[in-house]
């Protein structure tokens, strides 16, 4: 295997499940080449007699099955290449900057890392770029450079950096304790924290869970283990948070966990650390599973807080007509999230990119919800938090999903009895999903209005009728599947294409900035009274909250209250536009309002098929006009 194979295998191994889209974006390779490399990896594993392979499931992605421990051994034995060495050097440099007290010169850093000054200066550029994502600066003075951070902020940064290296929650058998839970990290994080410390803390927390019977979600477990591990690691290096800490009445479970930590590591935790662990435990005790047993009698204001979250959620999402289950789930989640963010406890969502690309309407509704919460509680939600909220809203959408009724005209030439049998069988199989408008002979078909009607025919007819399905008069299972597929596809593509207009379709190759593109599109729409003037600021505010760029496309949205007439504005730039941290060539400006509420599922379902197909996106970037664009979509539908 070469370096590309190795990196591909490593990413799939460390991520559990990775979609085609994620791999394409990461490696900048075509779908064909990704598939080819994976096939070559599987052949290589087979040649080594390793009983493991990379599997692919449509709409889910790639994962590794079989002897995964053998994959780990293979990865560890493979020599690092220059790219990977560079990544490790970045970690090493960051680690030095985090651990140095005072200032350090560039030459001292270069000597410490056994590299040239010029190499160090280039690495420093990469580190500055990385830190910029977290709004952190490296300060340069005559006496040297340093990170402009207090110790507590350094620990927050370490936590965020560790979370960028994918981890796995692993359950394995233990002859004493039964099922033993642990965290598995990439070896790359060794520069930030001692892996032995993480393993030891994971054992302590696992034992604590068994004794208390507390239920921890994956992100609660991850956050607790990582926080304690970082605290202990930094304390060992004599980095203490200099903060006056009031002594609080700790939870019984907190005291139990602290005792285990102090005994295992032979240390005395400062009050600040104890209080911070207590915050974690309180959140855990109030999650959906534990809250019944741990009614929070010490906090009588809890009922007021819960009522406030309920009212805010119901008000902001009122247009969705949320059911009680959604209100309850969001109330519990948001109470925990707001408290967590208020205490600077960050979590990471390992499925962020998949949630953003597959659950677009739910993600947009989540952004709308957190905008209201940020104003009320003076906090800031990141994309990981928004993605967790999205899961609850998507569950609601799935519960309340209604299938549209499809109008059908039956064309049958086999006699009255056969046509009645066909009609009855279609009704039996499809029930309320279809409405049979008429049953006609082939000669009558040309006299009928056929807009938005599916033709089910026992007579082969010409291609001019694009929405037709040829079936056996007795309606076999194969015929039923064909009708089902056509109904689903026709509804989705039709509802999406109806929102497109040649007047709001633009292609150019000018060098444009993100805000200029949005402004130009909005100007066109305002001139034609499709939107209200406030739409521009609405779009910009949503982009600030979370970039809508996904790979080669951007999906800006405007507030529904500022949309007079629903539509999707399409802008294609052959040279590409810098959109947040991505470069995109296609912009779909979604401007939907209440009138399209029933069709949302079809619209976004079809759109997901478009953005998940590299072939379709490539074709779109090459179209010369609106007609060709529609042809590409019709072909996909």
Q: What is the mean pLDDT of residues 305-334?
A: 86
User: Beta strands 178-184 and 406-411: pairing type?
Assistant: unpaired
Q: Mapping DSSP to helix (H, G, I), strand (E, B) and coil, where does residue 420 land? A: helix
Give the pLDDT mean for 229-244: 85
Overall average pLDDT of the 227-238 stretch: 92
Counting the structural domains of the chain, the total is 6
The arithmetic mean of pLDDT across residues 551-559, rounded, is 89
Structure tokens at 621: 């970037």
Reported in sequence order, the residue ranges of 480-543 that DSSP labels E, i.e. its strands, are 505-508
Asked if the model's pLDDT at residue 174 lies above 60, the reply is no
What local confidence, expressed as pLDDT, does residue 591 receive? Answer: 92
Indicate if 132 and 174 belong to the same structural domain: no
How much is the pTM? 0.59
Q: Classify residue 168: in a domain, yes or no.
A: yes
Annotate 210-247 with DSSP letters as a single string.
Answer: HHHT----HHHHHHHHHHHHHHHHHHHTT-------PP
Whether the predicted pLDDT of 10 surpasses 90: no
Tell me if 292 is assigned to some domain: no
pLDDT surpasses 60 at 294: yes
Residues 552 and 576 in one domain: yes
Residue 414 — pLDDT band, cuts 50, 70, 90?
A: low
Question: Which of 365, 399, 433 is at the close of a domain?
Answer: 399
415 pLDDT above the threshold of 70: no
* Domain assignment of residue 496, yes or no: no
| Other beta carbons within 10 Å of 358 | 20
**Structure token pair of residue 301:** 């204001």
Query: What's the pLDDT at 124?
Result: 93
What pLDDT is stored for residue 200 in this prediction? Answer: 93
Which of residues 436, 452, 486 is at a domain's end?
A: 486
Within 10 Å of residue 60's Cβ, how many Cβ atoms?
12
Question: In which element (H, E) is residue 98 found?
Answer: helix 82-99
pLDDT given at position 636: 62
Of 247 and 225, the structure prediction assigns the larger pLDDT to 225
- 294-298, 468-472, 512-516, 519-523: range with lowest mean pLDDT: 294-298
Task: Assess whether 545 and 601 both reside in one domain.
Answer: yes
173 pLDDT band (50/70/90 cuts)?
very low
Residue 522, both tokens = 């909005």
Distance CA 572, CA 560 (A): 24
Sequence-separated (6 or more) residues with CB below 8 Å from residue 252: none
64: number of Cβ within 10 Å: 21
**Which residue, 461, 517, 466, is CA-closest to 489?**
466
Asked whether residue 319 is assigned to any structural domain, the reply reads yes
Confidence band of 491 (pLDDT split at 50, 70, 90): low
pLDDT tens readout for residues 445-465: 767 766 668 888 887 776 554
Assigned domain for 253 exists: yes
Question: What per-residue confidence (pLDDT) applies to 555?
Answer: 93
| 157: in domain | no
What percentage of the chain carries pLDDT values higher than 90? Answer: 27
CATH number at residue 71: 1.10.10.10
Residue 94: inside a domain:
yes
| Confidence band of 518 (pLDDT split at 50, 70, 90) | very high
Same domain, 371 and 252: no
* Buried b or exposed e, range 70-95, using 16+ CB within 10 angstroms: ebeebeeebeeeeebeeeebbbbbbb
**pLDDT, tens digit (0-9, with 9 covering 90-100), for 238-269:** 898 876 556 678 999 999 999 999 999 999 99
Residue 294 in domain: no
Q: Are 550 and 356 in contact (CB under 8 A)?
A: yes
Same domain, 579 and 629: yes
Q: Please check the confidence at residue 416 and state whether its pLDDT lies above 80.
A: no
Confidence of residue 493 (pLDDT cuts 50, 70, 90): low
Name the average pLDDT for the chain.
83
Please check the confidence at residue 169 and state whether its pLDDT lies above 50.
Answer: no
Strands 406-411 and 454-457, by their bridges, are: parallel
Looking at the fold, whether 606 and 542 belong to one and the same domain comes out as yes
Bridge partners, residue 140, by sequence: 145
State pLDDT tens for residues 343-356.
Answer: 777 777 777 888 88
Q: Looking at the DSSP assignment, which residues form a beta bridge with residue 406?
A: 434
Q: What percentage of the chain reaches a pLDDT higher than 70?
A: 87
**Do residues 102 and 147 make contact, with C-beta atoms less than 8 angstroms apart?**
no
In the prediction, which pLDDT does 205 show? 94
Residue, of 330 and 602, whose pLDDT is higher: 330
Same domain? For 110 and 39 the reply is no
SS3 33: helix
Q: Which of 46, 77, 108 is the last residue of a domain?
A: 77
Residue indicated by tokens 């600077």: 344
The DSSP element (H or E) to which 252 belongs, if any, is helix 252-265
Question: CA distances (Å), 447 to each of 440, 443, 588, in order?
Answer: 11, 8, 38
**Does 376 share its domain with 477?**
no
Same domain flag for 547 and 595:
yes
Give the pLDDT confidence of 584-599 residue by residue, as tens digits: 999 999 998 888 877 7
State the residue range of the domain holding 574. Answer: 502-636
For residue 266, what pLDDT is reported?
93
Say whether both 471 and 509 belong to one domain.
Answer: no
Q: How many CA atoms lie within 13 A of 594 on its CB side?
A: 7
> Do both 144 and 205 map to the same domain?
no
């Amino acid at each position: 295997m070469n370096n590309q194979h190795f990196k591909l295998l490593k990413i799939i191994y460390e991520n559990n499940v990775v979609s085609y889209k994620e791999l394409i974006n990461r490696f900048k390779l075509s779908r064909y080449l990704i598939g080819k490399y994976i096939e070559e990896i599987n052949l290589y594993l087979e040649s080594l007699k390793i009983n493991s392979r990379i599997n692919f499931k449509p709409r889910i992605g790639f994962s590794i099955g079989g002897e995964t421990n053998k994959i780990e051994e293979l990865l560890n034995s493979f020599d690092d290449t220059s790219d990977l060495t560079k990544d490790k050097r970045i970690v090493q440099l960051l680690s030095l900057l985090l651990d140095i007290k005072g200032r350090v010169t560039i030459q001292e850093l270069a000597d410490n890392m056994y590299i040239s000054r010029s190499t160090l200066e280039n690495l420093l550029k990469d580190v500055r770029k990385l830190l910029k994502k977290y709004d952190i600066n490296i300060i340069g003075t005559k006496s040297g450079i340093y990170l402009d951070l207090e110790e507590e902020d350094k620990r927050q940064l370490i936590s965020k950096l560790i979370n960028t290296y994918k981890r796995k929650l692993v359950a394995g058998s233990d002859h004493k304790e039964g099922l033993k839970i642990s965290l598995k990290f990439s070896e790359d994080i060794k520069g930030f924290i001692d892996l032995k410390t993480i393993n030891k803390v994971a054992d302590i927390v696992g034992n604590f869970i068994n004794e208390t019977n507390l239920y921890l979600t994956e992100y609660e477990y991850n956050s607790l283990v990582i926080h304690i591990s970082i605290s202990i690691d930094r304390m060992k290096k004599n980095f203490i948070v200099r903060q006056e800490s009031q002594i609080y009445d700790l939870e019984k479970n907190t005291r139990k966990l602290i005792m285990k930590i102090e005994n295992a590591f032979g240390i005395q935790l400062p009050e600040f650390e104890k209080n911070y662990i207590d915050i974690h435990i309180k959140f855990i005790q109030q999650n959906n599973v534990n809250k019944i047993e741990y009614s929070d009698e010490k906090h009588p204001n809890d009922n007021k807080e819960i009522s406030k979250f309920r009212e805010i959620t119901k008000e902001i999402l009122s247009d969705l007509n949320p059911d009680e289950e959604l209100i309850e789930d969001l109330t519990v989640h948001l109470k925990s999230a707001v408290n967590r963010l208020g205490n600077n406890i960050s979590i990471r969502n390992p499925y962020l990119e998949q949630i953003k690309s597959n659950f677009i309407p739910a993600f947009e509704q989540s952004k709308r919800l957190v905008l209201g919460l940020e104003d009320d509680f003076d906090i800031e939600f990141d994309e990981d938090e928004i993605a967790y909220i999205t899961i609850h809203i998507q569950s609601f959408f799935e519960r309340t999903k209604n299938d549209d009724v499809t109008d059908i005209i039956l064309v049958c030439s086999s006699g009255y009895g056969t046509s009645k049998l066909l009609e009855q069988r279609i009704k039996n199989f499809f029930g309320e999903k279809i409405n049979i408008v008429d049953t006609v002979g082939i000669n009558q078909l040309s006299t009928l209005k056929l807009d938005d009607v599916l033709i089910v025919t026992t007579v082969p007819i010409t291609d001019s009728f694009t929405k037709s399905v040829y079936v056996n008069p007795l309606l076999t299972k194969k015929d039923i599947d064909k009708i089902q597929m056509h109904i689903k596809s026709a509804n989705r593509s039709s509802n999406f294409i109806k929102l497109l207009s040649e007047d709001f379709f633009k292609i150019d190759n000018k060098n444009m900035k993100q805000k200029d593109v949005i402004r130009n599109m909005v100007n066109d729409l305002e001139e034609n009274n499709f939107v209200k003037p406030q739409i521009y600021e609405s779009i910009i505010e949503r982009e600030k909250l979370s970039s809508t760029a996904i790979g080669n496309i951007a999906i800006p949205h405007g507030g529904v209250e500022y949309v007079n007439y629903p539509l999707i504005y399409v802008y294609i730039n052959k040279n590409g536009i810098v959109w947040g941290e991505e470069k995109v060539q296609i912009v779909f400006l979604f401007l939907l309002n209440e009138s399209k509420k029933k069709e949302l599922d079809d619209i976004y379902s079809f759109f997901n098929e478009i953005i998940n197909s590299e072939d379709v996106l490539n074709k779109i970037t090459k179209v010369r006009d609106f007609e060709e664009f529609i042809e590409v979509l019709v072909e996909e539908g």
